[in-house]
Amino acid sequence: MKALLVGEYREGKLLDSTYELLGFAERLGVEASLFLVGSSTQLPACSGTLYLADVAVCDEYNPDLHKHLIVAAAEQAKADCVVFLHSSYGWDLAPRVALALQAGQISEVVAIVDGGFEVGCCNAKMRRLVQPATARTVLTIQAGAFTAAMPAGTPQVVPQAVAATNAQFEFVGYEPAEAKDVDLTRAEVIVSAGRGVGKKDNVPVIAAMAKALGGELGASRPVVDAGWVDHSHQVGTTGQSVAPKLYVACGISGAIQHMAGMKKSEFIVAINKDKDAPINEVADVLIVADVMQFVPAFTARLAK
Ligand SMILES: Cc1cc2nc3c(=O)[nH]c(=O)nc-3n(C[C@H](O)[C@H](O)[C@H](O)COP(=O)(O)OP(=O)(O)OC[C@H]3O[C@@H](n4cnc5c(N)ncnc54)[C@H](O)[C@@H]3O)c2cc1C
């Protein structure tokens, strides 16, 4: 089986997520080549073929043109599957490419099981196993779900010719997101509240522990969606990606979308009443306790 992996390049830089695609291909055990709209001055480290389109000509975002280029590269590579990151770039392009290739699309793959692909369902509370039913497949993989490969070497570059398209978009640049209340990416300590804290009135207890440790308050998405904490504190794929020295997850189960945003933390402590909670996969220490009993007692000890 052959896979074409669509790497990402943003604001003049190759994104590290490109290596997650290579990690996915290794895990799948396929022969992989890369496609990138990027620059020959900044090539990914890998030993296979790289279909390279020049970003100076193609822009970093131009879905119509990039779709044409990816489809052409997929034909050249005789790819059975085309794989994107489930990023804003990937989720925009994947269905366009799937339609052009008449391929089935499987989105937000989080694991490979028996040659099939596991995807989240029921708001990521459950997983279902999906098998492609078309000759070719387009896949998007969840950020953080697959360990990045660390390949070496220089790719064999196949430059991609740019054909005229009737592009309906013009890329004019990026705009910085609205300034946030708090920049969690700079925090050395983050104490995050999950649904396990029970109710909005309990959030100050978690915030007090964050303060006592000289850190910031973080939160999982349900806590933000419920309006208990502002979105600027959300950690995860649709929040901020953080890597503090200490991350304390209070009543957080460890869904892939949360872990993708915090698993690079240096030291992770999870407080959960369920000893089998998935957060345990990344936690250095798991404290099996009721969060509303443990946290106030611990904060009081810190104060002493
Ligand atoms: C497209 C998409 C994007 C998403 N983006 C994000 C994101 O950016 N960030 C994010 O966090 N989520 C995100 N999610 C949601 C994610 O899938 C999970 O639903 C969410 O992370 C679960 O939050 P949680 O762990 O707080 O809640 P739950 O999964 O409900 O877990 C609660 C945990 O608390 C424990 N618990 C309960 N009571 C107590 C107690 N008294 N003491 C101790 N432990 C207790 C339970 O054992 C459980 O493990 C996204 C989902 C989708 C579909």
Q: For 238-285, write each residue's pLDDT tens digit.
A: 899 899 999 999 999 999 889 989 988 999 999 999 999 999 999 999
Atom of ligand 1 nearest to the CA of 108: 1
Domain topology for 2-159: Rossmann fold (3.40.50)
**CA–CA separation, 284 vs 279, rounded Å?**
10
Region 184-303: CATH code: 3.40.50.1220
40 Cα to the center of ligand 1, angstroms: 41
Phi, psi (degrees; rounded to nearest 5) at 281: -60, -30
What SS3 state is found at 40? coil
Say whether 184-303 and 2-159 share the same fold.
Answer: yes
Rg (CA), the chain: 21
Average pLDDT score over residue span 205-226:
97
164 Cα to the center of ligand 1, angstroms: 46
Helix and strand numbers, DSSP H then E, in the chain = 8, 16
Domain boundaries of the chain, sorted by first residue: 2-159, 184-303
Q: Pocket residues for ligand 1 (CB within 6 Å)?
A: 120, 123-124, 194-196, 220-223, 234-239, 251-253, 255, 257-258, 261, 271-274, 277, 290-292
pLDDT 10s digits, 104-146: 999 999 999 988 999 988 877 788 999 999 999 999 999 888 9
Average pLDDT score over residue span 223-243:
94
Tell me which residue has tokens 């300590």: 189
* pTM of this structure: 0.78
291 Cα to the center of ligand 1, angstroms: 14
Atom of ligand 1 nearest to the CA of 222: 23
